[in-house]
Chains A and B, each alone.
Chain A
Amino acid sequence: MNESCVRCGKCNPVCPTYRVSGNELCSPRGRYLLGERVLSGKIPATSDVVKSLLSCTDCYLCNPICPVGLDIVEMVHRARETFFVRDESCSRFSLSGFGIDYKGEKYEGKMSRGDGSVLLFPGCLVIDSFGDTLERLTELLACLDIPFVIIDACCNYPDWFKGGKICLPVEEETEFYVVCSSAYISLKKDAGVRYFLSFFEDVFPVRLPDNAVFVQEEASRSLGLIVADRQISSPGDLLLIFQQDSGMVHLLFERLIQQARGDVLVFESFHNLAVFRSLFPDVHSYHIIDFIHREVMES
């Protein structure tokens, strides 16, 4: 059935960007209706229209609320396609804000280490910037006797959020485990995709120290995982918003810190962890792997 937006506004208060901006342009209802009109050509993609459509952080908190079952996030992505230049190749993008530079050439994936049957897909950011955490993950897998192979490839998230498709150096429907929660969201429609946290369900909820709170992304939420005994919702994936509107990212993270009531933040998204650390270096932040590692090693 072709449902259309009934403009009830029920989606608005669950949206982190609406909450911090108090602006209908940064709300699910506003972006959905604007997206429809940009796609039909009724409204031109002026700078405030573009900014509005880019302000969605793909947290997916709005979709389940919609009483007519619209895929609000998908509409936003489709609308973005109308003004973004698409890059057909597997492109890596510059993260110069974090001291990471990519060459921008088309990347051919390769099997880099391990000799086992589980395909592990950490993603570029994890391999290049979170080597310690990746080591801990591989130690955990060794502990659990899970033989793995690491695929070093790009999930193409930067293109996906504009409606693009990813390209992976594996055959279709091969099962592989994604490590970054943002990569999982961009890949999850593929038949073979799994999320690495499912290896550790026996240790959930992870015991966090009293002054820590887990920031749950759509990845574990969509799988119904209760990862830690104290968890709050992420405002979504903020990496690309960071490059467009750092003011908004600041507000979203400030709100997150408020919700955490000043506790240490434990992320499952490497994107958000990277951006958070660069903006709030004095607030302690970790990845959940660090605590799962401690939990498994101590038992």
Chain B
Amino acid sequence: MISRSIKTCLRKIFGDRFSDETGLLFAYSYDAKFEGAPDAVVFPVDSDEVSRLLSLATEEGFPVIPRGAGTGQTGGSIPVEGGVVLSLERMNRILELDRENLTLTVEPGAITGDVKSYVAGFGLYYPPDPASYEFSTIGGNIAENAGGIHAVKYGVTANYVLGLEVVLPTGEMISFSGKLYKNATGYDLRDIFIGSEGTLGVITRAVLKLVPAPEAYATALVGFPDVSSIRRLASTVRSLSASACELVGKNIVPILMENFPSTLPPKTSYLMLVEFDGFGDEPKRLLDSMLSSFREVSFVVARDDSERERLWDIRRNVSPVIRANCTRGVSEDIVVPPASVPEMLEFLEELQAEFSVKIFSFGHAGDGNLHVNICYDELFPERQIEQLLEALFRKTVSLGGALSGEHGVGIAKKRFLDIYLSEESIRLHRRLKRILDPRGILNPGKIFDE
């Protein structure tokens, strides 16, 4: 609960960009998966206001929950102990394109899709493309270290953050690095904030790295008859630098076969959408090289842009297919070393049989990051869901993997964190959190308990 006097202070800072009205509190109580109950919402327009808010929060001891577009999957922007939701939506400007240094400076509320479109107009490319990129924000993407389809070649959001301005939980504003591609001066503190899920600082400005936009593509839909034929896929796509390697799992393929009868390659248990991007003939040459190194597969190669679109449509149809065939379930985004994907797929078959559930898996096989949708009926007992998830995460970690490749821990995976992180690591997490946030006011209740 926030006292009336604190609300008065907040009104002084934010004016009519402070509210505790019914409708607004509701609108800022949810993200894509979770709900909470904020006491107030504020909309800063600059980092100075953020700094004043956090100083006040540390002094008075009330929670502050940073929020971008509120499209997260793990409850990262949801208040668990009440408090003030800090919406960065109005700090959404693209500030500067530097064509000499190939950088873009933006405010955290800028929508990633807008950033991508903007730089594309100059022949440049900002590669990170989480599934939500058209509606999520750069700040949110940085806080979650968002990935996406093209991470297999281009890397994740962390690889594109050159500079950050952050407001610490105690209110200090600090800038980290800038338009530098190399920096060995002082600890690399910038990177602590990337993927910190809004628990160590509030991002108020980012300097993003840009690359030249590719001009040519070569795309194929590859059908694998069984799991063993997928071995060597990861090493092949990674050494050839495929720009996309997207798996469609066994249970989804037959449904897609019905919707796209003539487009899919024959004799397919698993489908992989593979794409190479670049310039001139290079993508085609690389695709041919990849396809010739797999004997047991069948494939369909896109001969022009419209065929390429049709192949991507198949991949885009995966989520609607799962939604239509799965009324109740959980969805996880585990990550394993890429070469362990076949073993994980075999394990998912066993898990499916053991628990009598239906598992729809798909996603970024080239990164080893699979979206695993586990579906069950209304009679499936709750405690079995926990057992099932624990089994999934334990297997993931035993393969050298981690609980989440992209979605973060947030509220959703907190209780499983010690499956992946050692006691020493969790203690170190807590120590770092205490140093930066002595009163534990910034986004409490996320990732781990303090």
Using a CB–CB cutoff of 8 Å, the interface residues on chain A facing chain B are: 6-13, 22-25, 27, 30, 33-34, 37, 43-44, 46-49, 51-52, 67-68
A-chain residues with CB within 8 Å of residue B19 when the two chains form the complex: 48
Residues of B within 8 A of A25 (CB): 23-24, 27
| Chain B residues, CB < 8 A from A8 | 32, 71, 132, 135
Instruction: Say whether B21 contacts A46, CB under 8 Å.
Output: yes
Chain A nearest CB: distance from B28 CB in Å? Answer: 6
Contacts of A34 in B (CB 8 A): 23, 26-27
B320 in contact with A67 (CB, 8 Å)? yes
Q: How far is the CB of B368 from chain A (nearest CB, A)?
A: 25
Q: How far is the CA of A44 from the CA of B89 in the complex (A)?
A: 26
- A50 nearest CB neighbor, chain B only: B23
List B contacts of A52 (CB < 8 A).
Answer: 23, 27
Name the residue of chain A whose CB is nearest to the CB of B111: A13
For the complex, give the distance between the alpha carbons of A10 and B113 in Å. 11
**Is B134 an interface residue, CB under 8 A from the partner?**
yes
The distance in angstroms between the C-alpha atoms of A294 and B111, with both chains bound, is 42
Are A49 and B43 in touch, CB under 8 angstroms?
no
Given A22-B90, A46-B23, A49-B22, CB of A33 within 8 Å of CB of B30: yes
Cβ–Cβ < 8 Å partners of B87 in chain A: 22-24
14 more CB-based (< 8 A) A-B contacts, given A10-B132, A46-B21, A46-B22? A7-B32, A8-B32, A8-B132, A9-B70, A9-B71, A10-B135, A11-B135, A13-B135, A22-B89, A23-B87, A24-B28, A43-B23, A48-B24, A51-B23
Shortest beta-carbon distance from B68 to chain A in Å: 10
Asked if B99 is at the interface (CB within 8 A of a chain A CB), the reply is no
Verify if B31 is at the interface (C-beta below 8 Å from A).
yes
Q: Does B441 contact A (CB under 8 A)?
A: no
For A37, the chain B residues whose CB sits under 8 A away are 26
- The residue in chain B whose Cβ has the minimal distance to the Cβ of A11 is B135
User: B431 interface residue, CB < 8 Å from A?
Assistant: no
For residue B69, CB closer than 8 A to chain A, the reply is yes
Q: Which residues of B contact A11 (CB under 8 A)?
A: 135
Q: Are B27 and A24 in contact (CB under 8 A)?
A: yes
Cβ contact within 8 Å between B92 and A67: no
Main secondary structure of the interface of B (DSSP, over half): loop
CA distance A48 to B90 in the complex (A): 19
5 nearest CB pairs, A to B: A22-B89, A49-B23, A24-B27, A48-B23, A9-B71
5 contacts between A and B (CB under 8 A): A10-B132, A13-B114, A25-B27, A34-B26, A51-B23
* CB of B109 within 8 Å of the partner chain: yes
Report B-chain residues with C-beta under 8 Å of the C-beta of A43.
Answer: 22-23, 26
Q: Is B323 an interface residue (CB 8 A)?
A: yes
Note all chain A residues with C-beta closer than 8 A to B90.
22
**B146: min CB distance to chain A, Å:** 14
Q: Do the beta carbons of A13 and B113 come within 8 Å of each other?
A: yes
Q: Across the interface, do A48 and B132 meet the contact criterion of CB distance under 8 Å?
A: no
Q: How far is the CA of A99 from the CA of B230 in the complex (A)?
A: 73
Give every chain A residue within 8 A of B320 (Cβ-Cβ).
67
Among residues 47 to 93 in chain B, which have CB atoms less than 8 Å away from a CB atom of chain A?
Answer: 69-71, 87, 89-90, 92
B319 interface contact, C-beta 8 A: yes
The reply on B33 being an interface residue by CB < 8 A is yes
For A13, list chain B residues within 8 Å (CB). 111, 113-114, 134-135
Chain B, Cβ-Cβ closest to A42: B26
Q: How far is the CB of B20 from chain A (nearest CB, A)?
A: 10
User: How far is it, in angstroms, between the C-alpha of A48 and the C-alpha of B28 when the chains are bound?
Assistant: 13
Q: How far is the CA of A80 from the CA of B315 in the complex (A)?
A: 39
Nearest-CB distance from A69 to chain B (Å)?
A: 10
Query: Shortest beta-carbon distance, A248 to chain B, in Å?
Result: 13
A67 neighbours in B (Cβ, 8 Å):
319-320, 323
Q: Closest residue to A69 on the B side, CB-wise?
A: B320
Q: Which residue of B lies closest to A26 (CB)?
A: B27
Which of chain B's residues have a CB closer than 8 A to the CB of A12? 69, 135
| A241 CB to nearest chain B CB (Å) | 17
Within the assembled complex, what's the spacing in Å between the Cα atoms of A105 and B122?
58
Which of A7, A10, A48 meets B30, CB within 8 Å?
Answer: A7
CA distance A129 to B21 in the complex (A): 40
With CB as the reference atom, state the residue of chain B lying closest to A46: B22
Q: Which residues of B contact A47 (CB under 8 A)?
A: 21
Residue in contact with B109 in the complex, picked from A6, A22, A68, CB distance below 8 Å: A22
* CB <8 Å contact, B33 and A7: yes
Question: Which residue of the partner chain B has the closest CB to A49?
Answer: B23
B27 touches A22 (CB 8 A): no
Alpha-carbon distance between A68 and B320 when the two chains are bound, in angstroms: 8
**Min distance, Cβ A20 to any Cβ of chain B, angstroms:** 10
Contact of A48 among B21, B32, B109, B323 (CB under 8 A): B21
A10 CA / B323 CA spacing, docked (Å): 16
Q: Which residues of A contact B33 (CB under 8 A)?
A: 7
**CB proximity of B48 to chain A, nearest CB, Å:** 18
Complex-state Cα separation, A109 to B19, whole angstroms: 47
Q: Of A7, A23, A30, A44, which is within 8 A of B43 by CB?
A: A23
How many Å lie between the Cα of A44 and that of B23 in the bound state? Answer: 9
